[in-house]
């Protein structure tokens, strides 16, 4: 069967132009035409070469799991600041009517301790949880992506890894974002000679338009294609991880790599505005925040308020203020001080909704987190989205945490290690990289998974399926929620829903972050009058999304905030 591969290049030009001229519109309406549709599947990711890898796999008979893994592995080559083998992530899958989630989040190494990031005075040691291998959790991606394919894929494993090998071995074109990123982070990359040798050739960041070849990463991927996860989690590559970590003061060991296991978990499930939604459970807070957002907004009759008006934004902020206050109780499911069941309990949502006032902002310091006493007696980093021609779906977010992770590349293996340890509450009460204040439930402990905000999500109603998620640290659940609400409450087309300008609030700091044009000047003034402090930011999240009807047409949208690409497979065209 010949299948057309349609990349909406013209949409990208329009998107870029609109970013410059009007910015992705919220109040002003969506700026871009709807993506083209096809019935053979759809892929959206943060890089054109990665989307192409996913589409190639769909075209050669792969399903959504095969395509998601191929896309993720290609991102590990062309988007080293976030795509990864040295990091971890989460995936939500829907195959037929079965919905599952795969947790391949990093874990703390066996030698990690509660106070490992504090000095003798109990003060945080600057940069310790961010830079160098002490900041690295045990990578989950090698075993996680392999497991996803093993369980749900249908093509031979080597075929799924092949596009990434090709990109690493034959080379790929450095895009503007990668050139800019390596320039901006040259200090971090230059700290470790192992990293500089690959990413600062001749001491300089690669130029946009130049060809980058990554032979060590290609060799790692070849071994991975031949022997699966064990090629990385045991043997010479795991030994190289340990050696690199030891040389730079890390506690990550080969035994940690061998002991790592991904975990299939029951999704956070809820109904919102007539749609079924499945999202990520702990150790991500994403699904709980999304569930609280939708549950509270329904109770507050949010859909009835005028779109882009002050009331809607005010209520969004009040809801997120409370959801992020509850987030302080969350952590690894084994140590979390609250569960999805508690935080999504109708009684808790009623209690919260009753205390939200339309006229005034509640100062964040007055919002108490969930406690059993408060509940009335009878009483809760790069993202990719894929659908195949059968309507099976994978929503996957993976990350190194910070840009280029901890900065250390494992010599011989060619991948960067994450700095996910900073997602733990490394110093209680102190904000992390994303300004999040976190609690004891999320303290460092050997083998623990650090709390995440990643929100890979699949929503469906009847035959219609939406696959979404975002990078952006603490901003992930709110970016995901807004796009979902644009679709399921306001009936936007997919591209319009993704384009619209967004806002964000996370309890602390008590500030509403706003993209340009999210709020009209009148709405902004009115929100200030209700007691909200507004702070403009360049962008919030990067939502790559696909949608479609099972047995019908599918569409894909790339977020104009990034250089991603969306594409579809259209068996009817050629």
Catalytic residues: 381
User: Which residue number, 391 or 471, has a Cβ lying nearer to ligand DON?
Assistant: 471
Indicate the DSSP class of residue 155: S
DSSP state of 499: H
In the bound state with ligand DON, the residue whose beta carbon lies nearer, of 555 and 564, is 564
Rounded to whole angstroms, the Cα distance separating 196 from 205 reads 9
Q: Of 443 and 452, which has the nearer Cβ to ligand DON?
A: 452
Out of 401, 443, 558, 570, name the contact with ligand DON by CB under 6 A.
401
Tell which one of 452, 480, 482, 523 touches ligand DON (CB under 6 A).
452
Q: Is the peptide bond before 509 cis (omega within 30 degrees of 0)?
A: yes
551 sits in which H/E element = none
Q: Is 80 in the site for ligand DON (CB under 6 A)?
A: no
448: tokens are 């623990």
Q: Which of the stretches 132-140, 466-474, 514-522, 552-560 binds ligand DON when contact is defined by CB under 6 A?
A: 466-474
Q: Which residue is nearest to ligand DON (CB)?
A: 452
- What is d(CA 500, CA 439) in angstroms, rounded to the nearest whole number? 33
In the bound complex, what is the minimum distance in angstroms from residue 332's beta carbon to ligand DON? 13
Q: Which of 129, 392, 426, 453 binds ligand DON (CB under 6 A)?
A: 453
Alpha-carbon distance of 52 to 71, in angstroms, equals 8
Part in contact with ligand DON (CB under 6 A); list of ranges 40-48, 156-164, 223-231, 451-459: 451-459
Q: Among residue numbers 322 through 381, which ones bind ligand DON (CB under 6 A)?
A: 381
Residue with tokens 């995901």: 480
Q: Give the integer Cα–Cα distance in Å for 389 and 572.
A: 12
Q: How many residues bind ligand DON (CB under 6 A)?
A: 12
Q: State the minimum distance, in angstroms, from the CB of residue 453 to ligand DON.
A: 4
Q: Least distance in Å: CB of 381 to ligand DON?
A: 4
Which residues in the 89-148 window bind ligand DON by CB under 6 A?
none
Which regions of 255-370 does DSSP assign to beta strands (E)?
A: 263-265, 268-272, 275-279
Compute the distance between CA of residue 263 and CA of residue 338 in angstroms, rounded to an integer: 20
- State which residue, 41 or 562, has the beta carbon closest to ligand DON: 562
- Cβ count within 10 A of residue 111: 14
The single residue among 45, 141, 392, 399 that binds ligand DON, judged by CB under 6 A, is 399
Q: Which of 26, 228, 445, 471 binds ligand DON (CB under 6 A)?
A: 471
C-beta of residue 422 within 8 angstroms of C-beta of residue 452: no
Q: Whose Cβ is closer to ligand DON: residue 392's or residue 470's? A: 470
State in angstroms the smallest separation of the CB of 443 from ligand DON. 16
Q: What is the DSSP string of 416-435?
A: BPP-GGGGS-SSTTS--TTS
CA separation for the pair 149, 167 (Å, rounded): 20
- The whole-angstrom separation of Cα 117 and Cα 356 is 38
Nearest approach in angstroms of CB 141 to ligand DON is: 13
The two structure tokens encoding residue 396 = 């996957």
Q: Which stretch binds ligand DON (CB under 6 A): 125-133, 139-147, 217-225, 468-476?
A: 468-476
Judged by CB under 6 A, the stretch of 250-258, 292-300, 450-458, 518-526 that binds ligand DON is 450-458
Among 388, 423, 492, 559, binds ligand DON (CB under 6 A): 423
Neighbour tally for 170: CB within 10 Å: 10
Answer for the pair 428, 331: CB distance below 8 angstroms, yes or no.
no
Chain contacts with ligand DON (rule: CB under 6 A): 381, 399, 401, 420, 423, 452-454, 471-473, 476
């Amino acid at each position: 069967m010949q299948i057309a591969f349609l990349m909406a290049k013209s949409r990208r030009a329009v998107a870029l132009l609109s970013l410059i001229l009007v910015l992705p519109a919220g109040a002003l309406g969506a700026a871009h035409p709807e993506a083209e549709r096809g019935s053979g599947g759809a892929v959206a990711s943060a890089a054109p070469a990665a989307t192409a890898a996913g589409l190639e796999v769909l075209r050669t008979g792969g399903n959504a799991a095969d395509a998601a893994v191929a896309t993720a592995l290609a991102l590990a080559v062309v988007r080293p600041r976030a795509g990864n083998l040295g990091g971890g992530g989460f995936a939500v899958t829907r195959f037929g009517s079965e919905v599952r989630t795969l947790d391949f989040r990093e874990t703390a190494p066996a030698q990690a301790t509660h106070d490992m990031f504090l000095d003798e005075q109990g003060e945080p040691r600057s940069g310790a949880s961010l830079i160098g291998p002490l900041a690295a959790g045990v990578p989950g991606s090698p075993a996680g992506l392999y497991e996803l394919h093993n369980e749900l894929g249908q093509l031979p494993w080597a075929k799924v890894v092949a596009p990434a090998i090709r990109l690493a071995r034959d080379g790929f074109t450095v895009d503007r974002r990668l050139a800019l990123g390596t320039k901006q982070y040259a200090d971090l990359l230059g700290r470790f000679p192992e990293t500089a040798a690959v990413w600062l050739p001749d001491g300089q960041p690669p130029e946009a338009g130049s060809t980058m070849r990554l032979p060590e990463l290609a060799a790692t991927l070849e071994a991975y294609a031949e022997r699966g996860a064990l090629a990385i989690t045991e043997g010479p590559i795991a030994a190289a991880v340990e050696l690199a970590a030891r040389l730079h003061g890390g506690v990550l060991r080969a035994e940690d790599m061998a002991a790592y296991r991904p975990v299939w978990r029951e999704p956070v499930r809820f109904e919102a505005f007539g749609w079924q939604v499945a999202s990520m459970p702990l150790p991500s807070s994403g699904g709980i925040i999304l569930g609280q957002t939708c549950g509270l907004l329904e109770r507050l009759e949010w859909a009835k308020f005028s779109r882009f008006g002050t009331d809607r934004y005010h209520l969004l902020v009040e809801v997120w203020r409370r959801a992020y206050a509850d987030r302080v109780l969350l952590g690894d499911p084994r140590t979390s001080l609250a569960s999805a069941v508690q935080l999504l309990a109708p009684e808790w949502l009623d209690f919260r909704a009753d205390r939200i006032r339309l006229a005034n902002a509640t100062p964040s310091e007055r919002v108490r987190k969930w406690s059993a006493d408060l509940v009335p007696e009878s009483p809760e980093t790069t993202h990719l989205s894929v659908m195949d021609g059968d309507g099976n779906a994978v929503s996957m977010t993976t990350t190194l945490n910070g840009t280029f992770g901890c900065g250390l590349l494992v010599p011989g293996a060619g991948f960067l290690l994450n700095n996910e340890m900073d997602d733990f509450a490394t110093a209680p009460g102190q904000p992390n990289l994303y300004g999040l204040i976190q609690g004891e439930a999320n303290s460092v402990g050997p083998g623990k998974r650090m709390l995440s905000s990643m929100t890979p999500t699949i929503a469906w109603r009847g035959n219609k399926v939406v696959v979404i998620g975002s990078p952006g640290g603490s901003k992930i659940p709110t970016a995901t929620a807004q796009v979902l609400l644009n679709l399921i409450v306001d009936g936007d087309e997919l591209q319009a829903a993704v384009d619209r300008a967004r806002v964000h609030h996370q309890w602390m700091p008590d500030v509403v972050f706003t993209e340009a044009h999210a709020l009209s000047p009148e709405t902004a003034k009115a929100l200030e009058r209700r007691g909200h402090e507004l702070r403009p930011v360049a962008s919030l999240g990067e939502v790559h999304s696909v949608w479609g009807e099972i047995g019908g047409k599918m569409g894909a949208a790339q977020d104009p905030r990034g250089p991603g690409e969306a594409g579809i497979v259209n068996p009817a065209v050629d």
